[in-house]
Amino acid sequence: MTNSLSNIAYWIFPIVQTILYYNRRNVLIPVMYCRSNAVLIGVGIASALFHSQNTFSSQLADELGMSLLAYTYLLITNSKYNIVSASYDNNNNDNNNDNIIVYWKKWYPYIVSSNLLLYTQTKWFPIFVATFLYQLSIPVYDTMIYAYKNKKYKQYGTTYLYTAIIVIILSKSCWIYERYLYEMGACPTNMFHFLFYLHSFWHIGTALSHTCLIQHWMDE
């Protein structure tokens, strides 16, 4: 029940962010950020269904929503930075790294679609995990490169970016440990036990991390 209820974080954070953005600037959040927040709300709905029904179809809806969310991140970074390239730095090593990212992006739709199709047929979870991490790696790389090679980052800082990264690492740690306890048959059943809420921390943390990442992009 708590795992289903904690999905409300995926609704609260983007809604509050939208309200605060409007109050501060008297304009609505730009479409590309609003689209990403809307997908996060959809992920929250699908995740709540999955934790209440525990079927593969509801799990798939949750995971496809996550994949779509990662795709909205790519759309944001492509729009903001175009393709991170030698324009930021004339160093040859950096150019080679940028060419690798360009190559990754070129094959992005084929890799993602084929992997997700394979996952739906095999139901082997590591396939989805690898695909999702691949999807996240490109926009995160673009963001990090821009933040550290473009002089403008000094004007707005990287507090939200650092926070997003730290929070997602801590949240993933909660998820991993919760899975370990589940596999060992040692999940606490006492609602007053701290470890009882590990998966809820994962939901809240990922929602917060998303919000911080969006805020970083909006403040650039």
* Helices within the chain (DSSP H only): 2-5, 9-25, 31-53, 56-81, 92-106, 108-122, 125-149, 153-156, 159-183, 198-219
| Residue 197 token pair | 């809420």
| Weakest-pLDDT range from 58-67, 70-79, 83-92 | 83-92
Distance CA 112, CA 128 (A): 9
User: What is the torsional sign of CA 76, 77, 80, 82?
Assistant: negative
For 108, other C-beta atoms within 10 Å of its C-beta total 15
Please, what is the average pLDDT of the chain? 85
Task: State the pLDDT confidence band at 219, using cuts at 50, 70 and 90.
Answer: confident
Q: What is the mean pLDDT of residues 6-26?
A: 91
Q: What is the pTM of this model?
A: 0.85
Write the Ramachandran bin of 190: left for phi over 0, alpha for psi from -120 to 50, otherwise beta.
beta
**Closest Cα partner for 39 from 5, 20, 6, 63?**
63
Distance CA 20, CA 146 (A): 26
| Residue 130 token pair | 């690898």
Residue 107: the pLDDT is 86
User: What is the torsional sign of CA 109, 149, 33, 31?
Assistant: negative
Q: What is the pLDDT of residues 100-157, one digit of tens each?
A: 666 677 889 999 999 999 999 999 999 999 999 999 999 988 888 887 776 555 555 6
CA atoms within 13 A on the CB side of 181: 15
Residues 164, 209 contacting (CB under 8 angstroms) = yes
Q: What is the pLDDT of residues 75-100, one digit of tens each?
A: 999 888 865 443 444 444 455 555 56
Residue 110: the pLDDT is 92
Distance CA 171, CA 21 (A): 25
